[in-house]
Structures are given as structure tokens and as C-alpha cells.
């Protein structure tokens, strides 16, 4: 199969699927993979990846009503969206239900909840760590301490699982300031030694449970993470001075007094 780029291993969640198809945005490849899965919406519809139908329905409504996921041929954005459906099917189905539920309470427009859901769906990631102090540094926006002073600990105790399909597309050509919106999750050292497929299944189930319980659905629920700070994503960050750039490694939000 065609080799695929994986800056810093950030495409790793998709690797079990990409091992079986060419690394190219082909709808036929997606349907080949989908034939071996039994993906369903929470409304019970079988997930199918199809060229965008001219039925006038919005994307989420169409998924909910018919299971049809609009997938433009030869389009990297939609290709990665389909791969995320196949990798995190429970979480994607839960987000779809959350969209439908939120929309039912609105007379018009999208609303803050749907905007927040979309932001994670497009640009989200799950950061897990067996050392809680690393997540504390992330929450505190202590970027240089986290990425440079604790660099060795990151490799041992922390993993970043990209969820957002737009972020996967952006990782094809990483750019200065590329940021993910993350959910933080404590794990045990033994969890980090599990096979990747089991880790993905656990995270999928965990995310779906949280979304359906109404967690992480606010517009400020996500923790920003500048992805180019992670070791291995860019050779430029092999220098401590790289983390002194406040345009990319911004201080945290300040509370009003």
C-alpha cells in the first residue's frame, strides 16, 4: 500500500485502516473498509458513505434519518471524516445524536452547542496520560515546561489521539499555529501498553458515554493544544527556543476580576 505521512505519529489512530487501502481519497476504498464494519447511527440506520445527495437535507439530519454520510470523491476532508467514522463509530454516532437533539430546541440557526460539537468534530483530539502532572501543565498552558523540560516524560506517559478530520487533513501539510481542541483523560501505565486497536475502542466508548451525558458540549469545553509542540511533529521543535514564540505557544485564558 502507499506509504502515508505521520508527523509525530499523529496519524496513528488511522493506521489500522490505512494498512489495507491506498493512501488516497478514494470513495471506493472507504466503501471497501465499510463493508467489513457494522456501523450504525443511534437512530438505528446503517452507515453508508455516498456522494452528496441532492435531497436538500443538512449533513447531520441526513446521517440521522438515512445513515448516509455525504462523502465527496477525491476529497481529503471527507476521506478523513469517513476514516474517523470507521475508527470512532460510537463517538461519531453520539455527536450526531447531540446535533439532532440540540437542533430540535432551536427555532433557527445552529446555536452554541452545535458550534462547539462541530469544533471538536473538525479539530478535536483526546490526550491521555498516565502521569497527571503532564495534563496539569497542559491545562496551565505551561508549554515550555511541558514540551521541553518534560520532553522525555511525554514519550513515556502521554499520547495524543487525533479525532478531528479537518486536523488530519491539515497534518498533511502542518502549519505554524496548528492547534487541536482536546479532551484530557487519565489512564494507567498498563493502558498505554495495550494494543492500539483496544485503546481506540476504549476511547471511542468513553467519548460516546461522555457526549451522551452532556459533557464537553459547551463552547469553551475544549483544552487547546498546539500540535507542533509535540516532539517529532516538526524538526523545528528540537530546539528549546522554539517554545518561546508566544504567537504559537500562547498564555492561558485570563479570568476577569
- The tens-digit pLDDT sequence of the chain (257 residues) is 445 667 779 999 999 999 999 999 999 999 999 999 999 999 999 999 999 998 889 999 999 999 999 999 999 999 999 999 999 999 999 999 998 998 766 655 566 787 888 899 999 999 999 999 999 999 999 999 999 999 999 999 999 999 999 999 999 999 999 999 999 999 999 999 999 999 999 999 999 999 999 888 876 778 999 999 999 999 999 999 999 999 999 987 644 33
Please indicate, yes or no, if residue 137 is contained in any of the structural domains.
Answer: yes
Q: Are residues 107 and 123 in the same domain?
A: no
Environment class of residue 3 by beta-carbon count within 10 Å: exposed (0-12), middle (13-18) or buried (19+)?
A: exposed
pLDDT of residue 7: 79
Domain count, the chain: 2
Q: Are residues 240 and 132 in the same domain?
A: yes
Q: Which of 112, 128, 159 is the last residue of a domain?
A: 112
pLDDT of residue 67: 97
Are the C-beta atoms of residues 86 and 33 closer than 8 Å to each other?
yes
201: left (phi over 0), alpha (psi -120 to 50) or beta: alpha
| Contacts for 154 with CB less than 8 Å, ≥ 6 apart | 134, 146, 147, 230, 231
Q: Which domain holds residue 207?
A: 119-244
Q: Which of 80, 112, 144 is the last residue of a domain?
A: 112
pLDDT of residue 257: 30
Q: Are residues 36 and 20 in the same domain?
A: yes
Q: Are residues 127 and 72 in the same domain?
A: no
Q: Are residues 62 and 81 in the same domain?
A: yes
Strands 179-186 vs 124-129: parallel, antiparallel or unpaired: parallel
pLDDT of residue 106: 61
DSSP class of residue 40?
A: B
Q: Are residues 155 and 220 in the same domain?
A: yes
Q: How far is CA 1 from CA 17, 18, 20, 41, 202, in A?
A: 11, 8, 7, 30, 28
Q: Are residues 161 and 238 in the same domain?
A: yes
pLDDT of residue 256: 39
Q: Are residues 56 and 134 in the same domain?
A: no
Q: Are residues 103 and 130 in the same domain?
A: no
Strand-by-strand arrangement of the 124-129 sheet: 158-162, 124-129, 179-186, 223-226
d(CA 49, CA 67): 8
Amino acid at each position: 500500500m502507499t506509504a502515508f505521512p505521520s508527523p509525530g505519529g499523529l496519524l496513528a489512530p488511522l493506521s489500522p485502516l490505512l494498512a489495507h487501502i491506498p493512501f488516497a481519497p478514494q470513495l471506493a476504498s472507504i466503501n471497501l473498509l465499510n463493508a467489513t464494519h457494522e456501523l450504525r447511527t443511534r437512530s438505528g440506520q446503517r452507515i453508508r458513505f455516498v456522494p452528496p445527495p441532492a435531497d436538500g437535507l443538512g449533513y447531520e439530519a441526513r446521517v440521522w434519518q438515512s445513515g448516509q454520510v455525504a462523502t465527496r470523491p477525491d476529497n481529503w476532508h471527507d476521506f478523513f471524516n469517513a476514516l474517523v467514522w470507521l475508527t470512532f463509530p460510537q463517538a461519531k454516532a453520539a455527536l450526531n445524536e447531540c446535533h439532532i437533539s440540540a437542533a430540535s430546541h432551536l427555532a433557527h440557526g445552529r446555536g452554541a452547542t452545535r458550534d462547539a460539537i462541530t469544533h471538536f468534530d473538525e479539530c478535536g483530539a483526546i490526550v491521555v496520560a498516565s502521569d497527571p502532572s503532564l495534563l496539569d501543565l497542559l491545562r496551565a498552558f505551561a508549554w515550555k515546561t511541558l514540551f521541553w523540560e518534560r520532553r522525555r516524560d511525554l514519550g513515556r506517559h502521554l499520547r495524543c489521539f487525533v479525532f478531528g478530520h479537518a486536523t488530519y487533513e491539515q497534518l498533511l501539510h502542518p502549519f505554524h499555529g496548528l492547534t487541536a481542541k482536546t479532551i484530557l483523560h487519565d489512564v494507567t501505565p498498563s493502558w498505554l501498553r495495550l494494543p492500539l486497536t483496544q485503546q481506540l475502542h476504549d476511547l471511542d466508548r468513553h467519548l460516546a458515554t461522555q457526549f451522551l451525558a452532556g459533557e464537553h458540549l459547551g463552547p469553551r469545553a475544549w483544552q487547546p493544544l498546539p500540535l507542533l509542540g509535540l516532539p517529532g511533529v516538526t524538526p523545528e521543535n528540537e530546539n528549546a527556543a522554539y517554545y518561546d514564540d508566544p504567537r504559537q505557544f500562547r498564555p492561558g485564558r485570563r479570568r476577569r476580576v
